[in-house]
Amino acid sequence: MPASNLALLLTIARMVGTGSERELGSGEEPRGAGLVVGVLERLADIGARPEDSHDERLRAGALILASVGIALISFVWVLTYLAFDEPLAAAIPATFQVVTLVGLVVLARTKRFDIFRTTQLAGFLLLPALLQVALGGFAASSGMVLWAVMSPLAALAMLGVRRSLPWLVAFFLVLAALTALDPVLVAGDPAALPERLVIAFFVLNISGLTLGAFVLLGYFVHQRELVHAALEAERERSERLLLNVLPEPIADRLKRHEGVIAEQHDEVTVLFADLAGFTEMTADMDPRSLVGLLDEIFTSFDALVDAEGLEKIKTIGDAYMVAGGLPSPRVDHAEAVAHVALAMRDDVARIASSTGAPLSIRIGIDSGPVVAGVIGRSKFIYDLWGDTVNTASRMESHGVPGEVQLTERAADRLEGAFELEPRGPIQVKGKGPMQAFLLKEAVESRPPERDTTG
């Protein structure tokens, strides 16, 4: 076996061994379709540069894989032609092996994929033609020129349609030249190979070419699918993040590139909640514990809001804002918000009891018209404006820790469905005296079902 063939075998074996150790020692499933894909990806990384895009790495990897595959198949031709005393014919596929091996070494050191690509495309095109000439034409060589079609196919994958056209033209020119020369080659001294071997090589050429084209295009398509899957996962992640910020109907409108999104809603119930004494607690708690406690509370609130079909508008520090009746109207908006308010009060009491934290919550509710819309461009937010919003905030700030305080118009919408305790007129900043009520319990208790689906 020539020294170049032995070196190539050792190189491939070393890569396979390294890939196997990495895959088997990781304790994880091999990437892609298994160990084979892992080895192929290692081969594709030979000429990779840090600044290369994923698409450039994909193109380089596809050509390297095809080149190594053809070089391995060439062992059959080299050994067979030597066995039948055709040293010139054996030297041509051996030359391709040497060119490929040297090209891989140069590529690994220089990262100049353009040089490797050009030499391989030229080798794909010219060496099969030279081998056909050396053997004495189409019949004696088993149609060896079939392998030259790898040149325009690989160029198409590497360079795109426009830049691969010269390689396609070159293939047809070579094919035409061989057709013109075939009578001369047949009349000369064709290789004296057994008929069965000629037929077997013809089958090998068709099978090998099909396999080479399949590996080249299959790897390319496989990587494209991975990119598509990654993009789809990123799109779904972005969609989830968007729905964490905006209600779904508003997000759909924003994705349609609408201009200013602003709507008037005549019947909405707004809730403000604030953790009483939480600011004082921040002085005595370490940051991790503080954020962890707040996360536990607000995660509980989120589950309640989702289960009741309400819209969480925003959080500001330890304050939490919810609305019912928008962006899609609903007739029971006040009742839904009231159920959530009572559940929030009970959850805070439960968490305070379990953690020993001196926690309580003030909740304020008002019902009426609001204006809703999206503001901002880079960091947008869905927000509410109007007297209803301001009054609900005042109900919270003038409320009683551990209680849910309502305006008179909110209480009117809940009359008969909830126990309400009149608090009498209270002085509200910016509003003057207002009738206020404390929400106690539902007449028919209907705690919101938590969403346990995750």
Q: What is the pLDDT of residues 173-213, one digit of tens each?
A: 999 999 999 999 988 888 888 989 889 889 988 887 888 77
Q: What is the pLDDT of residue 450?
A: 46
Q: What is the pLDDT of residue 21?
A: 39
Q: Considering only CA atoms, which of 99, 130, 129, 132 is closest in space to residue 117?
A: 99
Contact assessment for residue 81 and residue 75, using Cβ atoms and an 8 Å cutoff: no
Distance CA 407, CA 38 (A): 66
Contact assessment for residue 273 and residue 396, using Cβ atoms and an 8 Å cutoff: yes
Distance CA 285, CA 27 (A): 41
- Residues with Cβ within 8 Å of 36's Cβ and at least 6 positions away in sequence, in order, are none
Contacts 24+ apart (CB under 8 A), 311-320: 311/247, 311/382, 313/382, 313/383, 313/384, 314/381, 314/383, 318/274, 318/275, 318/278, 318/279, 318/294, 319/272, 319/273, 319/274, 319/275, 319/396, 320/272, 320/273, 320/274, 320/344
Can you list the residues of the chain whose pLDDT is less than 70?
A: 1-41, 44, 216, 219-220, 223, 239-260, 376-379, 444-454
Q: What SS3 class is residue 438?
A: strand
What is each CA distance from 316 to 274, 284, 407, in whole angstroms? 9, 21, 22
Q: Considering only CA atoms, which of 107, 162, 151, 159 is closest in space to residue 127?
A: 151
Partnered with residue 315 across adjacent β-strands are 320
Q: DSSP letter for 143, please.
A: S
Q: What is the pLDDT of residue 167?
A: 95
Distance CA 364, CA 407 (A): 8
Q: What is the pLDDT of residue 115?
A: 92
The strand pair at 403-407 and 360-375 is best described as parallel
For the record, the structure tokens of 343 come out as: 């559940």
Distance CA 76, CA 64 (A): 20
Task: Tell me the residue type at 173.
Answer: L
Task: Tell me the residue type at 166.
Answer: P
For the record, the structure tokens of 272 come out as: 């403000």
Q: What is the pLDDT of residue 292?
A: 86
For the record, the structure tokens of 29 come out as: 């499933």
For 157-177, b/e burial (b = at least 16 CB within 10 A) is bbbeeeebeebbebbeebeee
Task: Find tokens 């900043």 and name the residue.
Answer: 429
CA geometry: angle at 412 spanning 406 and 416, to 5°? 105
CA geometry: angle at 78 spanning 62 and 70, to 5°? 10
Q: What is the pLDDT of residue 6?
A: 34
What is each CA distance from 217 to 123, 148, 150, 171, in whole angstroms? 19, 16, 11, 19
Preceding omega of 327 cis (within 30 degrees of 0):
yes
For the record, the structure tokens of 246 come out as: 């905006």
Q: DSSP letter for 142, please.
A: T
